[in-house]
């Protein structure tokens, strides 16, 4: 299970890579900073759904470490 599937790992302001709904087939990732956490559950097998500061919404695939 990747770290992006656990809500406890996701914090507002964290830099992440998400896959947006329209990019699920290609797997294209969008990077940005978490503005809001949208998933209510503690875990989600496809990744925690977040909104980035840019307003883009998708599921977290990677957490970017500095």
At residue 37, φ and ψ (nearest 5 deg) are: -100, 125
Closest to 39 (Cα-Cα) out of 66, 3, 10: 10
Whose CA is closest to 10, among 24, 27, 52, 26? 52
Q: Is the pLDDT of residue 1 over 70?
A: no
pLDDT, tens digit, 9 for 90 and up, residues 23-50: 999 999 999 999 999 999 999 999 999 9
| Angstrom distance (rounded) from CA 32 to CA 15 | 6
**Residue 58: which of 3, 12, 28 has the closest Cα?**
28
pLDDT the model gives residue 49: 98
Q: What percent of the chain has pLDDT over 90?
A: 94
**CATH code for the domain defined by 3-63:** 2.30.30
Q: How confident is the model at residue 65 (pLDDT cuts 50, 70, 90)?
A: confident
């Amino acid at each position: 299970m990747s770290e992006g599937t656990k809500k406890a790992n996701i914090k507002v302001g964290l830099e992440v890579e998400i896959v947006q709904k329209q990019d699920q087939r290609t797997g294209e990732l969008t990077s940005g900073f978490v503005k809001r956490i949208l998933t209510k559950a503690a875990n989600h097998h496809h990744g925690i759904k977040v909104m980035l500061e840019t307003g883009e919404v998708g599921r977290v695939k990677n957490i970017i470490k500095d």
